[in-house]
Amino acid sequence: MDSIVSNSSGYDQSVDWVPLSLTFVEYPKGDVFGKLLALFSLTPFVILSGFISLILFRRDLHTITFFIGVLLNEICNTVLKHILREPRPLARNTNLLYSEYGMPSSHSQFMWFFASYMLYFTFIRLQYANNKAFKEFFWKVAGAASCIAIACIVSYSRIFLQYHTWKQVIYGALFGIIIGTVWFTIINVVLTPYFPTVISWKISELDTTLIPNVLWFEYTNIRHEAGARARRRKSISAKSQ
């Protein structure tokens, strides 16, 4: 007799099914605030999606090396969890979904690595055409403050949803900041001088590394091109009348 047990519809009932844990977050039933924090706890996956999109469409070396740092940060977190072996504060029944260890918090470490790196990148690497203008400085501060605020919210969400203790989240933040600082220093001091050589390779033809602020560059060029096209269209329209 066949060992595979099937129901009358022909579906296999002997297979053990498990949910994908990457985006699985539990929150107290009926708690709107808890649901909002659960959504915020998915921020790392939004950031990872952004990294992949930027790498595919821009091939910027700073973005690629930033992403490599994110991966190294996650590896460090996994190693630390298995060295420290501190359990999570709440033992859930879904043991197959989560690592049993909670020290340090991977969400907290990820977000504070990202926030610290972005802080250094914004004020050291990112340059506008006129970096003394108050408006441009304001946007730098606003961007950095937003990264820090989101990191705080995501970190708190892990405590509120009882995935981690305060200590696990704080240590995660400290490790994230330390690794982010070290990685930015390596990129800015050691690797950046070699970027001009790398972008001279055939595979790097579309690299935008030498443009200090790609978003500002695109904004000014698109605005200039849009104005030029509008003037040409207006000129053609006037001639046809």
The first and second tokens of residue 193, run together, are: 């001088």
β partners of residue 101: 87
- The tens digit of pLDDT for each residue in 119-159 reads 998 888 776 555 557 777 788 888 889 999 999 999 999 88
Alpha carbons 210 and 221: distance in angstroms, whole number: 16
- The tens digit of pLDDT for each residue in 205-225 reads 555 555 555 556 665 767 677
14 DSSP 8-state letter: S
Phi, psi (deg, nearest 5) at residue 2: -65, 135
Kindly write down the DSSP assignment for every residue of 162-211, as one continuous string: TSS-HHHHHHHHHHHHHHHHHHHHIIIIIIGGGHHHHTTSGGGTT--TTS
pLDDT by 10s per residue, the chain, length 241: 444 444 555 666 677 665 555 567 777 888 888 888 888 888 888 898 888 888 787 777 788 889 999 999 999 999 998 898 888 887 765 555 556 777 899 899 999 999 999 999 888 877 655 555 777 778 888 888 999 999 999 999 988 888 889 999 999 999 999 999 999 999 888 888 877 777 666 665 555 555 555 556 665 767 677 767 767 776 776 666 6
- Is omega for the bond preceding 196 within 30 degrees of 0, making it cis? no
pTM of the predicted protein model: 0.73
